[in-house]
Amino acid sequence: MKNRNLLASLAGWLVASVATDAQTAVAPPKDGAVLLSPFTVTSEADQGYAARETLAGTRFKSELKDVSAQVSVMTKEFLEDNPRALQHAPFPSMTYSTRRHFIRTSAAAALGSIAWPGRVLASGETVLPPHLKAFKGAYLKNPRQASLDWFRDAKFGLFIHYGLFSLDGIHPFEQLRLKIPVAEYEKKAARFTAEKFDVGALCDLAVEVGMKYVTLVAKHCDGFCLWDTKLSPFNSVRSAARRDFVAEMVKACNERGLGFFAFYEFGFEWHHPHGPRKKDFPHPLTEVAYPSPEPTYAHGADYDLNRYIDYAHAQVEELLTRYGPIAGIWLDGVAAPLSGDRSRFRCQELYDKIHRLQPHALVSFKHGVTGTEDFYAPERFQLQHLKPGATKPAELCESLNPAWGWVKGEKHMDADWVMPRLGFTRHHGMNYLLNIGPMPDGSVLPADLATVKEVGRRIRENGWPKGPDKLPDSE
């Protein structure tokens, strides 16, 4: 197939060229690296367009001069063979130039999936995700089973809710509750400096306490992304912070042997023009009840949920192909698909993509939509949905403050509140994911820092708490 040979040649150029203008570009494998199996390049970020080309496993060499010299010819041939690639893009307003950039970055993102998973070097060494090094034997047999074994053994994780919703200390649902127009809410990005959001210190805290993974809110309901997404300008790199927090956190976690989960709000989306609507998914959080039609939203016959679903699937693909190995994808907003026709979210399609791009990666969607999730991650009120005697791994997620994100004057819990909950999860063979909500500048509230450190001290001195059988009241 003509495109197969073209893309195989184009691959090296993409990795080299994108590296010059993207901090998160994936470097080519070292000389002699061998891909264990064919991989699939996917580009599904556009509105309904999906182009898949299967490339046979290929040896890459570090010297890319010959390939680079052919770039202009190959790009021209690729676009001639795939005219629809320039006709479809995440948003209709994309120019010809930005669409070309989108094609380049999408292909480079797909190539990122081959740079590390299951890779065998010429020396015979297998490259493992850093958090799975202790599970090498299991990983070589079954990467996802190795991850499940690791997850069951992990016990404890750090949850971090931070974003534009942290700036004014109102609530993570501020846009919904105050009915803030999209254009007005976007202005908050100019105040988002995050000057004291220290990923190294947060990961050091997790290690000190005995946590084995970090789950960062990469995108919440407001649609603001904490990574350098190429699919929306509403992201942290284009904010006052000028930082890719996912890239920073993945690097910090890998350096410490921690797993990294990317929290992705899937069910509720108040920024995208085609986000879920109440008419289809009648839940209170599905849609902002604006007094008049929101001008940035699609309405009537122009509205197409699939355009949002394609966008969300493509953003998850970015998270899996641009930052190397991660522990998995932590989806949120389960109430939306469960309130309507859940098949419209195409969850199984997304799960399959996650497992294809990173065979070891785990996926959760709270207490489940399809039942094929790798683990459940309920909040307290969702525990009732877990079946007694179920063998699937689970974690209970709770927060030191009720709102999850930082809210002015809100009561925060202490170590005496945490310990019995940690004991409850251990008693039931679950993990405990404890959330903190950094303040506007990104620093951790001193009281929360003291609480987490005290929990760690008690675990070190007394071991993991035992019991109770029943989860204590929330207060």
Please determine, for residue 398, whether its predicted confidence score (pLDDT) is greater than 50.
Answer: yes
Please determine, for residue 220, whether its predicted confidence score (pLDDT) is greater than 60.
Answer: yes
Residues 6+ apart with CB under 8 A from 81: 2, 3, 6
Residue 131 and residue 84: Cα distance in Å, rounded? 40
Please determine, for residue 423, whether its predicted confidence score (pLDDT) is greater than 60.
Answer: yes
Please determine, for residue 341, whether its predicted confidence score (pLDDT) is greater than 50.
Answer: yes
Q: Mean pLDDT across the stretch 443-454?
A: 98
| Greater pLDDT, 29 or 127 | 127
**CATH superfamily ID and name for 138-462:** Glycosidases (3.20.20.80)
At 418, give phi and psi (nearest 5°).
-75, -45
Q: Mean pLDDT across the stretch 214-229?
A: 98
Q: Mean pLDDT across the stretch 443-471?
A: 95
Where along the chain do the CATH 3.20.20.80 domains lie?
138-462
Please determine, for residue 196, whether its predicted confidence score (pLDDT) is greater than 70.
Answer: yes
Q: What crossing angle do the helices spanning 446-462 and 199-209 adopt, rounded to 10°? A: 30
pLDDT in tens, 129-183: 999 999 999 999 999 999 999 999 999 999 999 999 999 999 999 999 999 999 9
Q: SS3 letters for the chain?
A: CHHHHHHHHHHHHHHHHHCCCCCCCCCCCCCCCECCCCEEEEECCCCCCCEEEEECCCCCCCCCHHHHCCHHHHHHHHHHHCCHHHHCCCCCCCCHHHHHHHHHHHHHHHHHCCCCCCEECCCCCEECCHHHHHHHHHHHHCHHHHHHHHHHHHCEEEEECCCHHHCCCCCCCHHHHHCCCHHHHHHHHHHCCCCCCCHHHHHHHHHHHCCCEEEEEEECCCCCECCCCCCCCCEHHHCCCCCCHHHHHHHHHHHHCCEEEEEEECCCCCCCCCCCCCCCCCCCCCCCCCCCCCCCCCCHHHCCHHHHHHHHHHHHHHHHHCCCCCCEEEEECCHHHHCCCHHHHCHHHHHHHHHHHCCCCEEEECECCCCCCCCECCCHHHHHHCCCCCCCCEEEEEECCCCCCCCCCCCCCCHHHHHHHHHHHHHCCCEEEEEECCCCCCCCCHHHHHHHHHHHHHHHHHCCCCCCCCCCCCC
**Confidence band for 355, pLDDT divided at 50, 70 and 90:** very high
Q: Mean pLDDT across the stretch 447-460?
A: 98
Please determine, for residue 84, whether its predicted confidence score (pLDDT) is greater than 50.
Answer: no
The pLDDT score that the predictor gives to residue 390 is 74
For 36, what's the count of Cα atoms within 13 Å in the CB-facing half-sphere?
Answer: 14
Model pTM score: 0.78
**Confidence band for 19, pLDDT divided at 50, 70 and 90:** very low
